[in-house]
Chains A and B, each alone.
Chain A
């Protein structure tokens, strides 16, 4: 359950990251407030996830889970964005 939460938090962070690079990921550009919010969330969500992982699972297992969540959430985010791009390109 903790890992699912970590995954969700990292996924959120990656989506905010994508929002901050709209040209690269083919997303609409956010406004200044949206940018500030996205920047805060990109930093805050992984930090929260780290606190959660270490708090619940201890330092060693927690750190391992945190890094694993980074990797798998990144893959998930990349797949979602790639699929979205493919759908958008479809005539």
Chain B
């Protein structure tokens, strides 16, 4: 075999793509769903039936400040999330090591809404950027995978360069199976190239300090700062947040306040992330406990603005619902590109390496990622409806369901694949996705009919996505049955 640039980059694309593709498919799938993380959390808390956001009343803000003070007395550092179009409740949240959890208040009255504790859409968000392996190790793995995605994209473009433009919309359904899969991979890979490059590059860049940190400056190393004693926390129950919020709204120039953060000497009111495509995190500061405005430097250089745009583009929190759907669908198509790449990698090597255990392992891993992950995601949503609302440690139970179902799917897929019965594993797990997806709307209607009536759009969207996943899985199962192993 002669070594050419194409064969060499083909090898790089195949092996790097497959190795990282297993992780990247999960990252892209959960990231696509995490575009709607707040909506999913609302779906998973059917007790919260507020449909439109109302500005928080002074008593509600005071009640929230009381909860923050109570949390700080227990050593929990909480903040207030103001009502927004995506989450109409007034929330007092803290970070539990995986996601932001806390109490939801009615923004009009300040009464606590007795919503069930849930891992919510935060599970997908957390899995997307840390794989649930912790903020340090997980983020580094995700960043490396993102970098490999960029390597795979560049090598893929070079391999396909001669036919990139002419074949941009070429899809031959009647061709041989391998050719049809390759066409589908190339078609979506080329068409969604801008989206995948944008998400991979901005995703790596937002956590750039983890992958390419700058060396600590000598000055910073030599100066030994003695540890300061913790500052006394002022009595926040005496702080009137409503007038501060009005002042902040005036000084944030067109941006709607989104969060209220507390420090020992000050309270900071931050602009909401939905305010602009630039994730500016502009804020207005006030001294505690007097509530006197503090000077804030709001100037940003062009590089800082570029970084804000990169963050904004990746998180997509500024996006109106239509654009959010486009992010979601583009993310799913990106997932399909990677999934088809995984299938192609195994298909191409079946002839000469199908008897090897490594090939069977790869087949089993494909089933785990492509069919097992959606099954566990749907099981997680159904678990939310089936677990008792008052169960202690509910969010851990939900997370447990997600990982247990996925682990079972992985065991089943690997067991079957190693016995040269990957076809059986595909059929069973696609059937499971179909079953879970079709039962999701039924379960939702049976368990929380009032929430369905109060927020029909939200519930139909989540249930509908479950049903669509089921239809796609059942169709794939049907095709698999017709074509054989």
**Touch test A–B (CB under 8 Å):** yes
Q: Does B290 contact A (CB under 8 A)?
A: no
B195: which of A61, A71, A75, A78 is its contact (CB, 8 Å)?
A71
Q: Which of B167, B171, B319, B333 contacts A82, CB < 8 Å?
A: B171
Q: What is the CA–CA distance of A86 and B320 in the complex, to the nearest angstrom?
A: 38
A75's nearest neighbour on chain B, judged by CB, is B191
Collect the chain A residues with CB atoms within 8 Å of residue B169's CB.
Answer: 14, 17-18, 25, 74, 77-78, 81
Interface residue B295 (Cβ < 8 Å from any Cβ of A)? no
Known contacts A64-B326, A72-B329; A79/B171 CB under 8 A: yes
How far, in angstroms, from A61 to B309 measured CA to CA in the complex? 12
Residue interface bits B182-196, CB-to-A below 8 A is 1, else 0: 000001101110110
- B174 near A17: Cβ-Cβ < 8 Å: no
Ranked nearest first, the 10 interchain pairs of A and B with the lowest CB-CB distance are: A74-B191, A60-B277, A78-B169, A82-B171, A78-B171, A68-B326, A71-B191, A67-B194, A77-B169, A82-B173
Asked if A85 and B191 make an inter-chain contact with CB atoms under 8 angstroms apart, the answer reads no
- Report if B84 contacts A (CB, 8 A): no
Contact digits for B214-255, partner A, Cβ 8 Å, 1 yes 0 no:
000000000000000000000000000000000000000000
CB of B187 within 8 A of CB of A78, answer yes
A-B CB contact pairs (8 Å), 30 listed: A3-B326, A17-B168, A21-B166, A24-B166, A60-B277, A60-B309, A61-B319, A61-B320, A64-B313, A64-B323, A64-B326, A65-B326, A67-B194, A68-B195, A68-B326, A70-B194, A71-B192, A71-B333, A72-B326, A74-B169, A74-B187, A75-B187, A75-B191, A77-B169, A78-B187, A81-B169, A82-B172, A85-B172, A85-B174, A86-B174
Residues of B within 8 A of A64 (CB): 313, 319, 323, 326
Contact present for B323 and A85 (CB under 8 Å): no
Q: Which of B169, B174, B194 has the most CB of A within 10 A?
A: B169
Q: How many residues of A contact B (CB 8 A)?
A: 27
Contact A70 B191 (CB under 8 A): yes
Contact A61 B277 (CB under 8 A): yes
CA of A47 to CA of B277, assembled, Å = 23
Q: Which residues on A sit within 8 Å (CB–CB) of B167?
A: 24
| A89 contacts chain B at the CB level, 8 A cutoff | yes
**Which residue on B lies nearest to A88, using beta carbons?**
B174
Residue of A nearest to B198 (CB): A67
B77 contacts the other chain (Cβ, under 8 Å)?
A: no
* Docked-complex contact A78 and B170, CB < 8 angstroms: yes
Cross-chain contact B330 with A68 (CB below 8 angstroms): yes
Chain B contact patch, size range: 20 to 34
A57 CB to closest chain B CB (Å) equals 9
State whether A67 and B195 are in contact (beta carbons under 8 Å apart), knowing that A3-B322, A61-B323 are contacts in the complex.
yes
Q: Which residues of B contact A21 (CB under 8 A)?
A: 166
Give the contacts of A17-57 with B (CB-CB under 8 A): 17-18, 21, 24-25
Cβ < 8 Å to A, chain B residues 148-194 = 166-174, 187-188, 190-192, 194
Closest to A77 in B: B169
The interface residues of chain A, by DSSP majority, are classed as helix
A89–B329 CA distance with the chains assembled, in angstroms: 31
Question: Apart from A3-B322, A3-B326, what 7 extra A-B contacts exist at CB < 8 Å?
Answer: A67-B194, A72-B326, A72-B329, A75-B333, A82-B173, A85-B172, A86-B173
Q: How far, in angstroms, from A77 to B191 measured CA to CA in the complex? A: 11
Chain A residues with CB below 8 A from B187, complex form: 74-75, 78
CA distance A17 to B165 in the complex (A): 9
Q: In the docked arrangement, what's the CA distance between A77 and B187, Å? A: 11
For residue B194, which residues in chain A have a CB less than 8 angstroms away from its CB? 67, 70-71
Q: Determine the chain A residues whose CB is within 8 A of the CB of B191 once the complex forms.
A: 70-71, 74-75, 78
Closest to A26 in B: B172
Q: How far is the CA of A71 from the CA of B168 in the complex (A)?
A: 10
Chain B residues with CB below 8 A from A83, complex form: 173
A37, B428: Cα distance in complex, Å: 52
CB nearest neighbor in A for B316:
A64
Q: How far is the CA of A17 from the CA of B169 in the complex (A)?
A: 9
Bound Cα distance from A68 to B324, whole angstroms: 11
- Inside 8 A of A75's CB, which chain B residues have their CB? 187-188, 191, 333
Q: Which residue of B lies closest to A59 (CB)?
A: B277
Q: How far, in angstroms, from A27 to B8 measured CA to CA in the complex?
A: 35
Bound together, the chains give a CA A89 to CA B167 distance in angstroms of 20
Q: Quick check: A81 and B174 within 8 Å, CB to CB?
A: no
Q: What residues of chain B lie closer than 8 Å to A25, measured between beta carbons?
A: 169-170
Given contacts A65-B323, A71-B191, A71-B333, contact A89 B174 (CB under 8 A): yes
